[in-house]
Amino acid sequence: MLEKFFALKAHGTSARTEVLAGITTFLTMAYIVFVNPEILSSTGMDRDAVFVATCLAAALGSLVMALIANWPIGMAPGMGLNAFFAFTVVGAMGFTWQQALGAVFISGVIFLILTVTGVRAWLIAGIPQSLRSAIAAGIGLFLGIIALTSAGIVVDSPATLVTLGDLHQTGPLLAIFGFFVIAALDAMKVRGAILIGILVVTVLAILLGVSEFQGIISMPPSIAPTFMQMDIWGALGVGVFQVILVFVLVEVFDATGTLIGVAKRAGLIEPGKPNNLGRALFADSTAIIGGSMLGTSSTTAYVESASGVQAGGRTGLTALVIALLFLAALFISPLAGAVPAYATAPALLYVAGLMMRELVDIEWADVTEATPAALTALAMPLTYSIANGLAFGFISYAVLKLVTGKARDVHPATWVVAALFVIRFAFFAE
């Protein structure tokens, strides 16, 4: 049955290889079941319900990817998008988390329409490579400052805005230790390095009395506090225009880039040969809508899926295994509740570092490419807003190309996005 449905032989793989690949990918991305509730609960959302929503959204997204696209790619609520949801949309802009969920739902619908109509491909083709790289790096910097502040390593200062925290405290020391555990394990190619680091720090926190141990396994908590709680009408109010725009743009770049990158590594996209890219794009679009209904930020394709591909995963059976393992994770809610911020902060910081590697792909020798890219990356952490970083980048790119006589080099999609952000600052600024 598996052979017939997933065409294992045609892809040069076997059920055993696919199962091992699925387990490998799950171990590398399972940290999200601990990190996502920590981030989204800062908005007032019920942490246990977010934990359930995270597991279900990941399972649903991965299942859709398996059955519709037959690709070995795991799906889960995305890093960066959850930070934008919690710290910018709710924390800085003052929207309720229900309205933020409504904005995610609307962005998912728009994302689906863009995918079906082909506009998504037009947008992707039109955004400069330098800005794409800067967006990923900027989100990394944004995650970095969130991680450092939640760990107490960086604190606010009336004199210098930010300064070094008290590194003699237990929490910051645990976070520093956790970061080195994750980095060392990943350097040694240990699968699940991030997850292991989170668990090691959690155990130490429990032993030191920083966190309270409440068990490991139990029946899943109720998802009722977040299920179908999105406020769609509230999300349609004035001022949410920029929120939906940013959700859509980041979803477009992040998800599409990940899908294409991992699929190429798996040999699933070859010139002149048919592929399931269209189905994969449809799958990740529908996953966003489903995740918002369950009660979590945007669900997206995970770059960690490359680890499963490296282990031999080539079909949707890998994604099916990932989905089943996320369903099994529903039963470890007591352990998830015991994970302190000091355990998730090093994971965030390490992911931030990985995302900043994108800076190498920027054309630093060309000022009209490098300056907008730098502004994009710098504005995100320094204004505490992914939205502002995108705005600074697109507007400065369009302006610099215009005044240097290179306007013809700018794709119409870039002009459209830049104009939308100018309108945002002119009429919808907070």
**pLDDT for the residue numbered 50:** 93
156 forms beta bridges with: 162
Task: Name the stretches of the chain with pLDDT < 50.
Answer: none
Element (H, E) at 140: helix 129-150
Distance, CA of 321 to CA of 335 (rounded, Å): 22
**pLDDT for the residue numbered 320:** 93
Domain ranges of the chain: 10-355+363-427
Q: How many residues does the chain have?
A: 430
pTM above the 0.85 mark?
Answer: no
Kindly state the tokens that stand for 279.
């189905």
**pLDDT for the residue numbered 349:** 87
**pLDDT for the residue numbered 24:** 77
Contacts of residue 336, Cβ cutoff 8 Å, sequence gap at least 6: 33, 34, 37, 51
**pLDDT for the residue numbered 197:** 87
